[in-house]
Structure 1
């Protein structure tokens, strides 16, 4: 088993005829591709139903070997929720990214530049905006104008879990396609089929746990891959562990790293705190909440938890009055290190 390859990519259908469980939607998308004049599309549906997979399959059907030249994906969740910490890491935005400009200005410029690039050996190219429910109002207003300006050479596809979050002028310019939840019997059978192909042994109670992973296929695939990486044989404990790990937020993962450094009395504690606050962009309130959550998960006495909560309360008060979160947080974590790990 190669744990470097994400199974969500490895087992993602590349063509319409590989898609399982969304035959009605596939039939409609096929007809749009065959029309040779694809409209703008708004594809909506619950999380994990296969919206992104269907759009990627559509792009492959439409462009075949020239997908890379004519298909662009922008994730609105990463762009607007992670902001500049995401843009710092994404090389493809380096030519548009100016640190003194707002995220929405960078987004508008990026979309405009991609839309203005001439299609390669085709009539029009595709710009796919995933998790479009995260688009801000001003970003959507700009998109509406860009859609009008470049409609001869560019088509837009929006995927969202919330159709109502998309402004009416964009919705009215798109063909509306709804993707329902997968049949609940399909997801476990797909997951077990993947494990069989990977040669992973699954116990009876492991199979029963996998049968509880309904509807969200991407989440399910990530769960079984994590379980396969951590356990030689997948049982119910492996699935429970993986679900718990998968439900951790990015900040939870950063807190795990930070507490690991505290426990080892690592010299880079200060650097880790500055990275979480200054580079990753989490504010003091978010970090305080994540710290409380982390302490509640730790196997320490109720007395220690109570004392740690008092330490947090003092720093939380300082944060409301102070200017630089990382200075107050550095004091907090040094106190926690001394109290819990010395």
Structure 2
């Protein structure tokens, strides 16, 4: 059994970090009422786990009956094939209609269902950034129509990919990366539960906790591999990914003065690989930190990160950053 499932949090109290979010959701659960929600944050920060713990606390044994989860990325990438194969949606699938029309009908159908032992039910859009513009526009009207009996929850790594009407109607809950000390403590607990304390040293645990940069899910997966294969943890291999290699190519393009090529590569990471602008920023920082130790670069990246939080257009901010890096002549 995968450890990420075996040691998945069962209650809000077991969620690591994001204390202010846990407190707010606990208050919502105690009243039994909450608004539309927008959960955002990097991968492995606990968005989905926190949401499920919250819904279980609100609905108890009726959570399955009152919750519909729509995997937006899978639905819009696989289209009709996914709708035909999925038991939850196949009985609603209309062969003579397109994916968008089916999506609208399915959402309206689930939003219109009568809640079981509750005031309203919930429709969750996982990977909400994969929703097309037309799909998001249709949700705007559906949210208004069924607001008295249904709540919509959007889960995404890129909140700026959602249109303003959806964001303005939802309470934003931004999850930060899990702190490395919390990650290390959790990994130690798992080793104790598996009776494998001596397999991975405390130094390796600390290195692993730092290498995953707040992605608790990734840390647990690498820990399980290290224990079951009896191989030492290699923090360097964690970041030796295609994402890291593309980040390296972006910096090399900036150095050569090929700004358009650098921008295309950056857009590829955000669109094809699903990275948020802040995750892209982190990847660029890792690359720059190995080749160009310059305080001005740290300041520039910090300013860009602050701008991304306040800005609604990630692509403009990323392009502005790359242009400035080119002007600095790395």
Q: Distance in 1 between matches of 2:157 and 2:22?
A: 18
Change beyond 3 A, Cα 1:236–1:182: closer
Equivalent residues of 1:188, 1:213 under 8 A apart: no
Return 5+ residue gaps in structure 2 as ranges. Answer: 244-271, 273-330
Q: How far apart are residue 37 of structure 1 and its match?
A: 2.4
Change beyond 3 A, Cα 1:245–1:68: farther
Structure with higher Rg: it is: 1
Q: Which residue of 2 aligns with 1:172?
A: 168
Does residue 215 of structure 2 align to residue 219 of structure 1?
no
Equivalent residues of 1:47, 1:216 under 8 A apart: yes
Q: Which residue of 1 aligns with 2:36?
A: 40
Q: Which residue of 2 aligns with 1:129?
A: 125
Return 5+ residue gaps in structure 1 as ranges. Answer: 248-285, 287-342
Deviations 1:229-272 (A, max 9, x none): 4x1x24126x777887999xxxxxxxxxxxxxxxxxxxxxxxxx
Q: Which residue of 1 aligns with 2:142?
A: 146
Q: How far apart are residue 27 of structure 1 and its match?
A: 0.8
Match of 1:49, SS state, is coil
Q: How far apart are residue 119 of structure 1 and its match?
A: 0.5
Change beyond 3 A, Cα 1:242–1:96: farther
State how 1:77-156 maps to structure 2 within 5 Å: 77-156=73-152
Q: How far apart are residue 127 of structure 1 and its match?
A: 1.1
Match of 1:68, SS state, is coil
Q: How far apart are residue 75 of structure 1 and its match?
A: 1.5
Q: Which residue of 1 aligns with 2:199?
A: 202
Equivalent residues of 2:12, 2:54 under 8 A apart: yes
Change beyond 3 A, Cα 1:203–1:161: closer
**Number of matched pairs:** 241
Q: Distance in 2 between matches of 1:245 and 1:176?
A: 31
Equivalent residues of 1:185, 1:214 under 8 A apart: no
Q: TM-score, normalised by structure 2?
A: 0.66
Q: How far apart are residue 100 of structure 1 and its match?
A: 4.6
Q: Distance in 2 between matches of 1:16 and 1:246?
A: 34
Deviations 1:21-78 (A, max 9, x none): 2211111112222333211111222222111111111101101111111112112111
Pick the aligned partner of 1:15 from 8, 11, 18: 11
Equivalent residues of 2:212, 2:238 under 8 A apart: no
Pick the aligned partner of 1:190 from 186, 189, 198: 186
Q: Distance in 1 between matches of 2:78 and 2:224?
A: 25
Equivalent residues of 2:184, 2:206 under 8 A apart: no
Q: Distance in 2 between matches of 1:101 and 1:198?
A: 50
Q: How far apart are residue 159 of structure 1 and its match?
A: 1.3
Change beyond 3 A, Cα 1:246–1:78: farther
